[in-house]
Amino acid sequence: MGLSSETGVKNRLMVGVSIATVWEFEATLDYFHVQETERITYPYGEYFCRTINGKPVVFYSTGVRKVNGVGGTQYMLSHFPITKVLVVGTCAGIDERFDVLDIIIPDRAVQYDCTVKEVEPLLKPSFIVEIDVLKYGIKGNGTIGTADRAVVMWNDYLELQANGITIADTEAAAIAYICRKNAVECIIIKGISDVPTDETDLDPLQSNQEQINVYIANTPKVMTRIFDDYLHVFI
């Protein structure tokens, strides 16, 4: 892996790697040994460039939640010749068949907070994006659900389980949606950093803080696994 200058990569077709949280991006900076002078500021965060498998790659932070993920990605699509976006990072585990630190590559992404769930289905077809990962020789392993509300409360966890959600986050399906609008391929690679716990008999604030602590501790492990074992497959 070698560094590509910004001016050099802007004239070549590229892969974009979208990273949401501060902790995920810090782990990425550490993994790729990014120097301060290589980091470039843009309205949603920072980005830096590398060449992987002979392909220019721009890694960019967006900040959390859907509006930042979509805004940051649209900005990058408008300023770089990106033909594919990889959404990498952490997620909450929903499907009990998977464990913390498992890497999930979903073949379906859905925004589940776009309907009036009292009178409409939670998963509305117009907000579902199908993702073809079979062409990479990989069988997709489930559905990622995205909402601006993080899955912290137990009732949210149970509702997503009941609707066949495998993992959940606050950006990925919205980024997949905007990529489809731009006719740009989107692949999601997520690692389970934490699983919601039943807070019924606990202090909700304490329970939430404990989950955050687990997330922060597991984030570098997840990012390392993604970069070691999966990134090169999709570049």
Residue-range domains of the chain with CATH: 6-234 (3.40.50.1580)
Per-residue pLDDT of the chain (235 residues; tens, 9 = 90+): 333 444 455 557 999 999 999 999 999 999 999 999 999 999 999 999 999 999 999 999 999 999 999 999 999 999 999 999 999 999 999 999 999 999 999 999 999 999 998 999 999 999 999 999 999 999 999 999 999 999 988 999 999 999 999 999 999 999 999 999 999 999 999 999 999 887 666 666 666 667 778 889 999 999 999 999 999 999 9
87 burial level (CB within 10 Å; 0-12, 13-18, 19+): buried
Query: Scanning the structure block, which residue is given the tokens 């990962």?
Result: 133
Residue 29 to residue 50: CA distance in whole angstroms = 11
**Full-model pTM:** 0.91
Token readout for 163 is: 């609707």
